[in-house]
Amino acid sequence: MRRIEQLYIDGGFVKPHGTEVAELINPTTEAVIATLILADAEDTRRAIAAAKAALPSFAKSTKEERIAMLKRLNEAVLARTDKLRDITVEEYGGPLSRATWIAQYSSQAFLDAAQTLESYDFVRRMGRSSVVMEPVGVSALIIPWNSVAGTICSKLSMAIAAGCTVVIKPSELGALQAQVVTEALHDAGLPPGVLNVVNGRGDVVGGELAANPDVARISFTGSTAIGKVILHTATETMKRVSLSLSGKSPTIILDDANFAEAVPMALNAAFMNNGQACIAGTRLFVPEKRLPEVIELVEKAVGKMKVGDPHDKETIIGPMANSRHLARVQRYISIGLKEGATLVTGGEGRPEGLDRGYFVKPTVFANVRNEMTIAKEEIFGPVLSILTYRDEEQAVRLANASDYGLHAYVFSSNVPRANAVAARLEAGRVMVNTLQNDALAPFGGYKQSGFGREFGLLGLESFLEPKAIIGD
């Protein structure tokens, strides 16, 4: 049994003031694999004070110094790639291929930030003024459980590039992954106080970060419900807030697409990361007349998907990350059935042969209407709804008829036509005939998927405050 009994504050691992103990459970075996001491508000204030004390000198560091730090962070995380992959499989249940990708993506984030920083001008002329982009200040980075290492590294890389000191609050459900990342980050030897990591409950540690007047900026990734709570609290001290929130993203397959390729890609978009992905394409729009063909392709592709032990390299879908979440996904499947959607594959209960672990059957519903609960709410599991459209106009209208607007996917053999559809979609990102991430392009949501952008130039600027110096 592992124990996580320390926080990372002011350049070292320290004993928490908090005493509450939480257990971490392997979602594949349901065994308790670790205990964690949760930090309290006093620990959080200590971390904020360390970040505040380190800020004046770190904010003055040069671009070259910060590029060197980003490269050291990249090397340190890269050196833990295997450990990070293994712990992601064990603690989170991420299938091996996904866990491998996350481990690599985490280290790469620092090189992407270094590349953005290299060509960035912190001083620009605008009108008669010199505009200086200054670090915004102590930044709180709040992390969800479905992408612990990747989100820590991508947010941290931008804060460091900008010259901001940070307090990171990982999800308490991903403490082992956060521990491996923290040990790696420690090896990079940043100045004490620049980086602090406090594991604890959302309302306690996150609540203190959102309220504390010494925190200038909050970069939050998580649910829309909690994003609203944070925004409300942060308004009191006028913090700069960016919110990367929930999604219910549409995938549109246009009638001229190669369906044999597009349908399996649409399924990948829906089921990636065990379906626990904010960017999952969970509403699939297909031409009305082609529904029977789509159903046949879906049955064939899902039939081949291995559900089970995430250590197995053949596995496509591992367990849900925790028992509460499993119950949530099962509840949505039963709502889909009650609302009268047609079950194409999957359904309630465990997949055959898996009597332990938080597994669900990959489930696809057809004849779903946009007003059904399963088409409106984020399920966050391997559950896909197929909806039909008569023409392109209706496809765009239905795709946009959602409270969310994080991501969208368009498949077509005619790229200019697909791009024209993409231009009309209300989403922060639209992927055209691809599922490949672009780590230098902005990432963030329209509507209730949040605001503010991460990654690349706009991600860097979200940690900067412009100051105009006007003088004739």
| Site for ligand NAD, rule CB under 6 A | 142-147, 169, 171-172, 202-203, 206-207, 210, 221-223, 226, 229-230, 244-247, 278, 378, 380, 406
CB of 321 to ligand NAD, least distance (A): 9
Of 200 and 357, the one with the shorter C-beta distance to ligand NAD is 200
Closest C-alpha to 379, from 249, 258, 200? 249
**Which tokens go with 38?**
């949760």
The secondary structure of residue 452, as a DSSP letter, is S
CB of 16 to ligand NAD, least distance (A): 16
**Which tokens go with 109?**
């984030």
Of 78 and 229, the one with the shorter C-beta distance to ligand NAD is 229
Q: How far apart are the first and last CA of the chain?
A: 67
CB of 361 to ligand NAD, least distance (A): 21
Beta bridge partners of 383: 363
Closest C-alpha to 464, from 148, 275, 242? 242
State which H helix or E strand residue 188 sits in. none
Of 66 and 453, the one with the shorter C-beta distance to ligand NAD is 453
Of 69 and 245, the one with the shorter C-beta distance to ligand NAD is 245
> CA–CA separation, 235 vs 270, rounded Å?
35
Of 51 and 230, the one with the shorter C-beta distance to ligand NAD is 230
- With tokens 């949040």, the residue in question is 450
Classify 465 in phi/psi space as left (phi over 0), alpha (psi -120 to 50) or beta: beta
CB of 324 to ligand NAD, least distance (A): 10
Of 245 and 267, the one with the shorter C-beta distance to ligand NAD is 245
**Angle between helix 96-118 and helix 63-78 axes, rounded to 10 deg:** 170
Of 300 and 324, the one with the shorter C-beta distance to ligand NAD is 324
What is the secondary structure of 334-393 as a DSSP string? Answer: HHHHHTTPEEEE--SSPPTT--SSS----EEEES--TTSHHHHS---SSEEEEEEESSHH
Q: Are strands 139-142 and 166-169 parallel, antiparallel or unpaired?
A: parallel
CB of 229 to ligand NAD, least distance (A): 5
Of 34 and 226, the one with the shorter C-beta distance to ligand NAD is 226
Closest C-alpha to 378, from 228, 191, 241, 250? 250
CB of 38 to ligand NAD, least distance (A): 10
Q: Are strands 315-317 and 306-307 parallel, antiparallel or unpaired?
A: parallel
- With tokens 């004739």, the residue in question is 472
CB of 299 to ligand NAD, least distance (A): 28
CA 452 to each of CA 16, 163, 394: distance values in angstroms, whole numbers, following the listed order: 33, 19, 29
* CB 370, CB 394: distance < 8 Å: no
CB of 243 to ligand NAD, least distance (A): 8
Of 297 and 384, the one with the shorter C-beta distance to ligand NAD is 384
CB of 356 to ligand NAD, least distance (A): 23
